[in-house]
Amino acid sequence: MVFSSNIFLFLFLPFFLGIYYLTPTRWKSLTILLGSYSFYAWWRVDFLLLFAGVTLWNHVVAKNILKYEGQKSGRRWMQIGVAGNLLTLGLFKYFNFGVESLNALLNASGMNSVEAIKFILPIGISFYIFQSISFLIDVYRKDAPPAKNFLDFAAFISLFPQLIAGPVLRYKDLAHQFEHRTHSLDLFSQGAHRFMIGFVNKVIIADTVAVLVNASYALKDPTLADAWLGALAYTVQLYFDFSGYSHMAIGIGLMMGFKFMENFNAPYISRSITEFWKRWHISLSSWLKDYLYIPLGGNRKGRVRTYINLLLTMVLGGLWHGANWTFVVWGAWHGAILATERAFGVKGQLDAPTPFFKRLFCTALTFFAVILGWVMFRAESVGQAFDLYSAMFGLEGLHGVSDALAWQVNAQLLSVLCAGLLLIFIGPYLSFKYHQKPETAIGKSVTSVSVIGLFILAVMKLSADSFSPFLYFQF
């Protein structure tokens, strides 16, 4: 089940919220758990057992960490727990990749391939495994309070608004909310507003330009114009698809009384890749910093080691996204740029005062680097990515849109693509100016009516289109 479906909009969500609000406070965690398990089981019931097993494993391990607090056994239990989580993630997400890579190497050497079982990737496993790991480490570090009962912990891990594609939540940030949270009409209205904005981003913008992305990446011999259209379209699609999901997740959380961390902050206006990672997928970048980069030594062991740690963190972060060499190369690309910026003293301070033309140049250069990275991220293989790079840099000729793509491009699609790009760059400025002024009753009403109108339009479009899952479901 996905948020952008009529079943979720008109059946699951209203039914769940109705039951949730009728449930006494002390039993709300049980309602969350049962509702979230139903949401997850809609995909596959059998993998619900794996999900429940991972939850029970981490609860038991956390109990033992606390039991042996301050002793070597406590540390050993933390290590066992983290290893168990990583083993589960590795088995289901990377085993097939490892076998395929080994077979490619064997075939290149003239040897026979190895036959092995193929594992199905459980949906959302990357997110709930990362949340489980951070929980165990935080309990060991005494950064997070232990879960008071299994029900609250299970409800946290399975919390369906963020279960499939984040944000990557930490128990220490939500523990007090499980004990006490506010439910009000105002909070519910804020949540509904955020949900509708995310839904519009996903259905009207991301799903529309997806047509151009799929068509351009399917071309065998893309022209310069084909490659750039596809690259720009995917840059827009990925942002509005993923940020749209985050808006919806945060919105549903507010409807339930939870306040999740923000996951995006106008990332494409960044003036450096360092700043970009403070604005893009904030929950993941902060997780990688706290649980990978800093434990590796961070910047405490000299300049060279700092660069190595940055590169390694991003490579592993890229691999987290998927079992494909494209994600490894994408991570290495960002890691190399981060290391280079660190070497030149780039701080990546958000909203630091910068001369206009310098800011414009740095933003354009950063956006160009991000686009190049997304080409690798979206490509089916490293080879396809380099074919697209070849076309993008004119090595295949300075040709316009090919006939194979032209018939699929229309004014409506290009208009949505341009609107998406305008919202990316002008939207943050307009939002800043809007929030500088006190919101009047008329302005609030106009905003609400506009959002509701666009939401209705998006629902109509969704009903007419075919099924379109969120891009980050595959991770």
Could you confirm whether 321 is annotated as catalytic?
A: yes
Assigned domain for 444 exists: yes
Asked whether residue 127 falls in the same domain as residue 192, the answer is: no
Assigned domain for 455 exists: yes
pLDDT tens for residues 160-184?
998 888 799 999 889 899 888 889 9
Asked whether residue 423 falls in the same domain as residue 439, the answer is: yes
CA 152 to chain centre: 24
Assigned domain for 44 exists: yes
pLDDT tens for residues 414-453?
999 999 999 999 988 777 666 666 667 777 778 888 899 9
pLDDT tens for residues 203-229?
999 999 999 999 999 999 999 999 999
Asked whether residue 173 falls in the same domain as residue 48, the answer is: yes
Question: Residues 166, 471: contact at Cβ < 8 Å?
Answer: no
Asked whether residue 232 falls in the same domain as residue 94, the answer is: no
CA 282 to chain centre: 9
Write down the pLDDT at residue 289.
Answer: 95
The model's confidence at residue 470, banded by pLDDT at 50, 70 and 90, is confident
Give the pLDDT mean for 46-51. 91
Asked whether residue 119 falls in the same domain as residue 168, the answer is: yes
Asked whether residue 84 falls in the same domain as residue 110, the answer is: yes
Assigned domain for 93 exists: yes
Asked whether residue 448 falls in the same domain as residue 384, the answer is: yes
Domain boundary residue among 118, 149, 180?
180
Question: Residues 238, 268: contact at Cβ < 8 Å?
Answer: no
Work out the end-to-end distance of the chain between its first and last CA atoms, rounded to an integer number of angstroms.
16
DSSP 97-147: HHHHHHHHHHHHTT-PPPP-------TTHHHHHHHHHHHHHHHHHTSSPPP
> pTM for this one?
0.92
Write down the pLDDT at residue 344.
Answer: 92
CB count, 10 Å around CB of 358?
10
Write down the pLDDT at residue 100.
Answer: 84
Asked whether residue 90 falls in the same domain as residue 192, the answer is: no
Question: Residues 14, 192: contact at Cβ < 8 Å?
Answer: no
Give CA–CA dist 441/167, Å, rounded.
32
Asked whether residue 158 falls in the same domain as residue 197, the answer is: no
Question: Residues 33, 154: contact at Cβ < 8 Å?
Answer: yes
Assigned domain for 283 exists: no
Asked whether residue 22 falls in the same domain as residue 163, the answer is: yes
Asked whether residue 92 falls in the same domain as residue 236, the answer is: no
Domain boundary residue among 159, 180, 201?
180
Domain boundary residue among 146, 180, 214?
180
Assigned domain for 325 exists: no
pLDDT tens for residues 130-161?
999 999 999 999 888 888 889 999 999 999 99
Number of domains into which the chain is organized: 2
Catalytic residue, candidates 180, 321, 334, 399: 321
Assigned domain for 265 exists: yes
Assigned domain for 416 exists: yes
pLDDT tens for residues 278-314?
999 999 999 999 999 999 998 888 899 999 999 999 9
AA identity, residue 283: S
Asked whether residue 368 falls in the same domain as residue 259, the answer is: yes
- On the question of pLDDT at 277 being above 70, the answer is yes
Write down the pLDDT at residue 381.
Answer: 94
Q: Which domain holds residue 42?
A: 6-180
